[in-house]
Amino acid sequence: MNKRGFASDNNAGVHPQILEAMAACNQGHAIGYGDDVYTKAALEKFKTLFGTDTETYFVFTGTAANVLGITSALRSFNSVICAETAHIHVDECGAPEKFSGCKLLSVATTDGKLTPESIKQHLHGFDFEHHSQPGLVSITQVTEMGTLYTVEEIKAIADLVHSHGMYLHLDGARIANAAVALNSDFKSFTRDAGVDILSFGGTKNGMMYGEAIVFLNPALAENFKYLRKQGMQLASKMRYIGAQFNAYFEDDLWKKSASHANAMAGLLAEKLSHIKGVKITQPVQANGVFVILPRETIASLQKKYFFYIWNEARAEVRLMASFDTTKDDVLDFCRLLEAKMQNATSR
Amino acid sequence: MNKRGFASDNNAGVHPQILEAMAACNQGHAIGYGDDVYTKAALEKFKTLFGTDTETYFVFTGTAANVLGITSALRSFNSVICAETAHIHVDECGAPEKFSGCKLLSVATTDGKLTPESIKQHLHGFDFEHHSQPGLVSITQVTEMGTLYTVEEIKAIADLVHSHGMYLHLDGARIANAAVALNSDFKSFTRDAGVDILSFGGTKNGMMYGEAIVFLNPALAENFKYLRKQGMQLASKMRYIGAQFNAYFEDDLWKKSASHANAMAGLLAEKLSHIKGVKITQPVQANGVFVILPRETIASLQKKYFFYIWNEARAEVRLMASFDTTKDDVLDFCRLLEAKMQNATSR
Amino acid sequence: MNKRGFASDNNAGVHPQILEAMAACNQGHAIGYGDDVYTKAALEKFKTLFGTDTETYFVFTGTAANVLGITSALRSFNSVICAETAHIHVDECGAPEKFSGCKLLSVATTDGKLTPESIKQHLHGFDFEHHSQPGLVSITQVTEMGTLYTVEEIKAIADLVHSHGMYLHLDGARIANAAVALNSDFKSFTRDAGVDILSFGGTKNGMMYGEAIVFLNPALAENFKYLRKQGMQLASKMRYIGAQFNAYFEDDLWKKSASHANAMAGLLAEKLSHIKGVKITQPVQANGVFVILPRETIASLQKKYFFYIWNEARAEVRLMASFDTTKDDVLDFCRLLEAKMQNATSR
Amino acid sequence: MNKRGFASDNNAGVHPQILEAMAACNQGHAIGYGDDVYTKAALEKFKTLFGTDTETYFVFTGTAANVLGITSALRSFNSVICAETAHIHVDECGAPEKFSGCKLLSVATTDGKLTPESIKQHLHGFDFEHHSQPGLVSITQVTEMGTLYTVEEIKAIADLVHSHGMYLHLDGARIANAAVALNSDFKSFTRDAGVDILSFGGTKNGMMYGEAIVFLNPALAENFKYLRKQGMQLASKMRYIGAQFNAYFEDDLWKKSASHANAMAGLLAEKLSHIKGVKITQPVQANGVFVILPRETIASLQKKYFFYIWNEARAEVRLMASFDTTKDDVLDFCRLLEAKMQNATSR
């Protein structure tokens, strides 16, 4: 039996209904590279969700969705503005720079969220050939700090971005958790708020692999199929990605999974908040809890539960809940923490 | 029910035993990005197959295996020599050039196979800064034309390549079909023959996704993990790739599947060879049959069976057999062809 | 005193009138990066030559002009079709692939010239995402083999190219020699013939450094200033490039220099044609002479005159005349060759 | 007559002795691409200055020296740490990212100078494949803010950098001004202080074009000639770069020019410091003066003297002195400023 934990929502497995759908499509032959009924149905679903004039493409990973989405909108002399904590800036090993040739300009934040004001520091040098031309702002929803943008906050950023002829990209690796947290459909805080390109993730919410790039601004999708292939992201047996997304949307499975994950994070935060000597450092708005633990408890806690230290210097850890996190996981973790803290004190 | 056909070995589905293994690993949590027991077991298997000092990494696609393998061995000012029909040259939308920065130099062939002699046309300009420095030769086994290199032929190429300080890459998208056809293990015609980097494919032989880059020359693997991530090919839930490879090697499943596919292609070739007016254009050495059909039969045949036209000008088509091709498929296809030919004649 | 020779037209120095112009502009301050009167005047001259709606940018080298011109017109998933002997294919160390990400597809020729027919072999795979999308054809005038396209030949290629939505690039490293040989202005065989992007060279005809990228199709110049800077080709003290071009065009200096070079190559060819045992291998249409010499004379001839062996296997050498080649150089070279041949025979 | 100014040291022309040297080498033929006596002599001089085991290559621009130097030392998955004000970060239109594929990580500073402490914020994530691997620190001497590193400061950075297996690059666009200011030879604060790669500039100190990349760590020069060509930086008529450097070093011309420029900046700072309402914002340690002027004087001052606004928000301007700045320029500028200030007050 595998160990359980709060390390990442991608440490969870695949939701059984999704796995079943993958098995169900495993019959006979299907034309490769997306020309199959499962993929077509899934793409149709994205049109239903975001509008018939949007264009969606499947790739393998969230990094690929981000990088190829950015590349499709920009030329190499453009720059990309993002939070200092953005996945594209700190967790993709320079893939955006390598593939797009663009410069990334980061913005320091306390909560992972950009604001029009903080973006403006990089909005200069337009038309000046020595300077990378600001071309796109990328935000993450839910952010890497577990926080949420409101619809209004996204709109304000979109307005600023568009007023400079730039594009807005949203990294939605945890978009389902955001939708649930905002009690919203997907479209309201993306397309309707002015987002041009959306990386739509499912892997962190119960899928096996496969992410979607949704061109809410369909002009940016022109020629994207070539970029996807050149970006080494064209799946030959694509039906298995299509089948996953079909199951993901069927009967709002995505919503049930994300709601559960968010609820478990909420429960965890609630329980932790009652433990003296523990400090929650970010608003818990979706499925992540950032918390400072007594330093001496961390290593021994990790023996039973996977989780990552976020900030070594201040003993801050990140705890992620997923679709399969149980109430028992949460309660047992808190009990264990309290026990460790007592041990430490009594020593 | 999906239509069947001979379009590509990647139009087949996933072998049931592989699908079962994927389901079986779907329990509890596993650390992402490859630090799980399934991936580790699969990597261990590669060490058993190719030697304990080899290093293997999983990626999503064969294109990625080729491109990242090449990039790991070269710098951007190097060139890559390959057959005019090589997948890296004609079927990857320029991904090798884009990611590695290298020039591809193609060699015309009749059968998809390079020879020391044909490679030599590009072995010049060494040390001349105006000229891309020849750095790597890439061969495909089974070739894109369905033909096979003998071990001796590979050795001769490897010797030439190494005598110039270059590397030998083998695109093994159909390596299982090659091993079966050569009645060989994998190592004899790769590592033992002097291949430095191997793209080891499984998708065309019953896997769902996931290919392996095997560094037979382990020095070339240094830093590869960064290239894989930067190349957008690091799977978060990697256990499902590991599980596939484990099932693929279990009880020689790979061999059974490839043997069957090769046998079906052999049967198809044999049957076609008795049909007057049909001309097989390449030696049938693995699971592909290249054949010139009466032009007027092609479109109507395609209504029942998927397959691709290889050379429009001379009505040459490519017929690929896969692990799930049945004897009935073959016999029915040939019957149908004969019927169409008679109709055409009697008109 | 430096040795003289026929190695390359870039082994010659700078025409005295150009050097004087550089000295003449060396007074006081001038805003850097092209915002100076000398550069502006030179750019104005290009508008006079090619049309007021064309856009010209200066870079340092012919390679840069080619590479950045190509990059401005294409995206990385496009391919570039050129002759097997094209400078972009064999003499730029893979710079086009590295910077543009595009694939180069070469065409075998006997004389360095593409034809509509020979280009067509690469005009397929449109709209097929696995295939690099043919985006541009590049021709060289005067070709690397010393041969010339007629205006009609260029038009025929342009028509073919444009009918496929592609662009035509002309590498004009020796465009002055071409214009003189065609007894034409620059515009007739470039813009008027359908060329979209022109690399306009001067260095091989008496300039020190600095080449022009002329966007005959001005839509392709959009954003080019950023590509130039990102391509490391923005000269800070650009006035010295501007001054060179001003002198180059003043009183048709370019024409006098190129006419002289062509005439000297013509004389050389004429003299060589009378020497038994020597075989001229390409039509001598501009300032280059390709000739097979008795193998045993080559090394000793090179002791007095620089020149390069073009094809070692058949003892073919390339002899280039430049603006400062003298009649004496030519006659002495031929005398020396005849003497060496006699010595060889009498031994 | 051209307008004079303090806009940039590259607005000045070419020192007459350098121009003479260029004219003097303009005789006869010289093999292209660096195989000529002038280039060889200049390269020999660099060996004398930095050590016989160093390797130097000429390119056209400072941007190219920086970008290609960085590329030679790193692979695309590495990151480069530099000051937020570094030329490579803000003035090269993303050329480093585009060509090297690397990520740039910037550090906020008050004076353009990195410190071991400030660098450390980016020294993490080693061996973690999700993270760009810190590979190189780049400092500028004289910095873009006109300030200087002491030898000890550079040594401290070099020690930190090397202790992490990284390299130290120094952008020496104004290295002559630094040497003069430090009363030092070039080697003491570069090679002897631990710098691995040096961009050695001359254009801002009286040359016309051409910069040197000096590999103080010669292992990094391996294969550099290919990178230079692929980077479109190989000059065909290289003798004119060689001749410039020869003149630049002859009789310490570089030192005279830089000393003069520094002295003029010092005089300017001294005079400005006596004007009430003017605030010098950075230590004046070389040839640049950063100063806050009364906002209303700026536009009218610029009518007579070129100069750039550095920080619009606080009316800070940058005044650069060059080898040809005269005492009269300085005094007249200050007088004019005072006059404008009086006018403004009396209105």
Nearest to B28 among A4, A29, A234 (CB): A4
| Chain A residues within 8 A of B5 when measuring between CB atoms | 29
Using 50, 70 and 90 to split pLDDT, how confident is the model at A8? confident
pLDDT value of residue C1? 43
Q: What is the pLDDT of residues A189-221, one digit of tens each?
A: 999 999 999 999 999 999 999 999 999 999 999
pLDDT value of residue C77? 98
Q: State whether D234 and B129 contact (CB < 8 Å).
A: yes
Distance from CA of A69 to the nearest CA of C (A): 15
Nearest CA in chain A to C224: A129
ipTM: 0.96
CB pairs below 8 Å between B and D: how many? 42
The verdict on B115 and B131 lying in the same domain is: yes
The answer to whether C338 and C345 are in contact (CB under 8 A) is no
Nearest to C229 among A130, A229, A234 (CB): A130
Summary mean pLDDT of chain C: 96
Q: What is the pLDDT of residues A92-126, one digit of tens each?
A: 999 999 999 999 999 999 999 999 999 999 999 99
- Across the range A62-67, mean pLDDT stands at 98
Distance of CA A9 to the CA centre of its chain: 10
pLDDT value of residue D1? 43
Best of B57, B226, B234 to disrupt the D interface (most D CBs within 10 Å) is B226
The verdict on D202 and D272 lying in the same domain is: no
The CA distances from residue A90 to B229, D119, D133, D290, in Å, are: 12, 16, 11, 34
In-domain check, residue A338: yes
The verdict on A192 and A260 lying in the same domain is: no
In-domain check, residue C91: yes
The verdict on A224 and A298 lying in the same domain is: no
The answer to whether A286 and A262 are in contact (CB under 8 A) is yes
Using 50, 70 and 90 to split pLDDT, how confident is the model at C4? confident
The answer to whether A100 and B99 are in contact (CB under 8 A) is no
Q: State whether B203 and A237 contact (CB < 8 Å).
A: yes
Q: State whether D132 and A103 contact (CB < 8 Å).
A: no
Distance (Å, whole) CA B160 – CA B154: 10
Distance (Å, whole) CA B43 – CA C79: 37
Q: What is the pLDDT of residues D199-241, one digit of tens each?
A: 999 999 999 999 999 999 999 999 999 999 999 999 999 999 9
Domain encompassing residue A337? 254-346
What's the CATH code of the domain at D278? Answer: 3.90.1150.10
The verdict on B155 and B266 lying in the same domain is: no
The verdict on C222 and C294 lying in the same domain is: no
Among A219, A252, A285, which residue terminates a domain? Answer: A252
The verdict on B96 and B189 lying in the same domain is: yes
Distance (Å, whole) CA C72 – CA C135: 11
pLDDT at C3 over 90: no
Among C219, C252, C285, which residue terminates a domain? Answer: C252
Among D173, D91, D174, D145, smallest CA distance to D316 is for D145
> What is the H or E stretch that residue C107 is in?
strand C103-107
Q: State whether C77 and A226 contact (CB < 8 Å).
A: yes
Q: Which of A267-276, D25-34, D145-154 has the lowest mean pLDDT?
A: D25-34
Q: What is the CB neighbour count within 10 angstroms for residue C120?
A: 13
| Chain C residues within 8 A of B90 when measuring between CB atoms | 125, 130-131
Using 50, 70 and 90 to split pLDDT, how confident is the model at D25? very high
Q: What angle do CA A330, A331, A337 make, to 5 degrees?
A: 90
Best of C93, C106, C312 to disrupt the B interface (most B CBs within 10 Å) is C93
CB pairs below 8 Å between A and B: how many? 180
Q: What is the pLDDT of residues C276-312, one digit of tens each?
A: 999 999 999 999 999 999 999 999 999 999 899 999 9
Strand partners, D55: D215
Among A140, A150, A67, A139, smallest CA distance to A288 is for A140
Using 50, 70 and 90 to split pLDDT, how confident is the model at A1? very low
- Across the range D326-346, mean pLDDT stands at 91
pLDDT value of residue C345? 74
Nearest CA in chain A to D84: A105
pLDDT value of residue A170? 98
The count of domains in chain B is 2
Quick check: bond before D107 cis, omega within 30? no
Nearest CA in chain D to C210: D235
Three-class SS of residue D224? helix
| Chain A residues within 8 A of B12 when measuring between CB atoms | 29
Q: State whether C98 and B77 contact (CB < 8 Å).
A: yes
Strand partners, D280: D291
| Chain B residues within 8 A of A237 when measuring between CB atoms | 10, 13-14, 203, 208-209
Distance from CA of C89 to the nearest CA of D (A): 12
Distance from CA of B243 to the nearest CA of C (A): 29
| Chain B residues within 8 A of C92 when measuring between CB atoms | 130
Using 50, 70 and 90 to split pLDDT, how confident is the model at C347? low
pLDDT value of residue A64? 98
- Across the range A229-248, mean pLDDT stands at 98
Nearest to A1 among B3, B13, B28 (CB): B28
Nearest to C11 among D13, D30, D99 (CB): D30
Query: Which regions of C194-346 does DSSP assign to beta strands (E)?
Result: 197-200, 211-215, 279-280, 288-292, 308-311, 316-320
| Chain A residues within 8 A of D104 when measuring between CB atoms | 103
Q: What is the pLDDT of residues D32-72, one digit of tens each?
A: 999 999 999 999 999 999 999 999 999 999 999 999 999 99
Among B229, B252, B275, which residue terminates a domain? Answer: B252
Distance (Å, whole) CA D226 – CA C63: 13
Best of B4, B14, B26, B29 to disrupt the A interface (most A CBs within 10 Å) is B29
Residues of chain B that touch chain D, judged by Cβ-Cβ distance less than 8 Å: 33, 75-77, 101, 129-130, 133, 223, 225-230, 234
Burial class (CB in 10 A: 0-12, 13-18, 19+), A52: exposed
Q: What is the pLDDT of residues B200-222, one digit of tens each?
A: 999 999 999 999 999 999 999 99
In-domain check, residue D11: no
In-domain check, residue C289: yes
pLDDT at C106 over 90: yes
The CA distances from residue B76 to C95, C101, C233, D100, in Å, are: 9, 11, 20, 10
The verdict on B118 and B22 lying in the same domain is: yes
pLDDT value of residue A270? 97
In-domain check, residue B10: no
**A309 φ/ψ sector (left φ>0, alpha ψ -120 to 50, else beta):** beta
The verdict on D44 and D191 lying in the same domain is: yes
Distance from CA of A38 to the nearest CA of D (A): 32
In-domain check, residue A126: yes
Q: State whether A98 and D76 contact (CB < 8 Å).
A: yes
Using 50, 70 and 90 to split pLDDT, how confident is the model at A347? low
Distance from CA of C257 to the nearest CA of B (A): 27
Using 50, 70 and 90 to split pLDDT, how confident is the model at D294? very high
Best of B78, B132, B144, B309 to disrupt the C interface (most C CBs within 10 Å) is B132
The verdict on A92 and A217 lying in the same domain is: yes
| Chain C residues within 8 A of D3 when measuring between CB atoms | 28-29
pLDDT in tens, chain B (347 residues): 456 889 888 899 999 999 999 999 999 889 999 999 999 999 999 999 999 999 999 999 999 999 999 999 999 999 999 999 999 999 999 999 999 999 999 999 999 999 999 999 999 999 999 999 999 999 999 999 999 999 999 999 999 999 999 999 999 999 999 999 999 999 999 999 999 999 999 999 999 999 999 999 999 999 999 999 999 999 999 999 999 999 999 999 999 999 999 999 999 999 999 999 999 999 999 999 999 999 999 999 999 998 999 999 999 999 999 999 999 999 999 999 999 998 877 76
Q: State whether C98 and B101 contact (CB < 8 Å).
A: yes
Distance from CA of B91 to the nearest CA of A (A): 9
- Across the range C84-94, mean pLDDT stands at 98
In-domain check, residue C8: no
What's the CATH code of the domain at B169? Answer: 3.40.640.10
pLDDT value of residue C256? 98
The verdict on C49 and C187 lying in the same domain is: yes
The verdict on B265 and B246 lying in the same domain is: no
In-domain check, residue B9: no
Higher pLDDT, C339 or D2: C339
DSSP per residue over D28-47, as a string?
S---STT-SHHHHHHHHHHH
Q: State whether A226 and C33 contact (CB < 8 Å).
A: no
Nearest to A226 among C133, C223, C234 (CB): C133
Chain C neighbours, 3+ Cβ pairs < 8 A:
A, B, D
pLDDT at A10 over 80: yes
DSSP D252: G
Q: State whether D229 and B75 contact (CB < 8 Å).
A: no
